[in-house]
Amino acid sequence: MISSSTPSGYALVTGASSGIGAAIAREYARRGVPLILTARRLDKLEQLANELRPQVSVIVIPADLGDPSAPASLVAEIERRSLPVRILVNNAGYGVPGRYTTRDWPVHAQFLQVMIGAVSELTWRLLPAIRESGQGRILNVASFAALVPGADGQTLYAAAKSYLVRFSESLSLENADRGVHVTALCPGFTWSEFHDVTGTREMVSKLPKWAWLETDAVALAGIEGAEKGRVIVVPGRVYQLAHSIARHLPQRWVLRAMGRNSGRIRRID
């Protein structure tokens, strides 16, 4: 059943094939919101779509957002099918392990396209219609890494996620008068494929269980935060407390702590 506060129309979820993106899609389906799912892996998208179709209408449009032409092509296909997007979930993302100069520039360029370029362009292309609805939502999946000083081996990841936070803050101010809620979701360590892709699963598995969040809980926190008009959402009491403490400590102390612990939880080769 769609809540009275939930916009009528489709929710477009990028990076919906697994992890937080798939969890967000499931939560919106539970709420009766029809979905447009996009990611690179068509088989994974179809598997999720088949799971959710008994609840809502689900459209699958595969796209590789690392391709600079993908955002325009995706929106063109959505418009060709006359699908009204009222909720945009910018979730697609990944991490590039290692220090900045240990990776070739094309690797970084594609990363920036997915994490910043595609998010910015999709939002720009879809925002006018979302504004016209008078009750739209934009949910940008950032990271707790955006809220603390950058760590060794996380050069572009933390920076890109910080961009999403500032982007969300400005968009929220610009569009509040049209009933559009813009939210940056900032989860900490979350059980998903993310650490398998970056090759850090063995390292992060040494973290205590209390440091981990479940994808379903993160998705619920993000969607409920967006419905309430919260601009920044930090799921989990542990991370909420850590965020509060980090904001009041001298930055040099936090940087020193990040430097001591970076090599324990991420590759810095």
Active site residues: 157
| H helix runs in 19-117, sequence order | 19-30, 42-52, 70-80, 105-112
Sheet strands (E) in the chain = 10-14, 35-38, 58-60, 85-90, 137-141, 181-185, 232-233
Question: Whole-angstrom Cα distance, residue 92 to residue 94?
Answer: 7
Looking at the domain 10-265, which fold is it? Rossmann fold (3.40.50)
Question: Whole-angstrom Cα distance, residue 117 to residue 100?
Answer: 19
* pLDDT value for 242: 83
HSE, side-chain direction, 13 A CA sphere, residue 83: 24
Contacts of 89 (CB under 8 A, 6+ apart): 11, 12, 13, 14, 21, 24, 138, 139, 141
Q: Over range 70-94, report the average pLDDT.
A: 98
pLDDT tens profile 181-226: 999 999 998 866 554 554 454 545 666 677 789 999 999 999 999 9
pLDDT tens profile 109-163: 999 999 999 999 999 999 999 999 888 999 999 999 999 887 788 899 999 999 9
Could you tell me whether strands 181-185 and 232-233 are parallel, antiparallel, or unpaired per DSSP bridges? parallel
Please determine, for residue 89, whether its predicted confidence score (pLDDT) is greater than 50: yes
- Can you give the residue ranges of every domain in the chain? 10-265
pTM equals 0.87
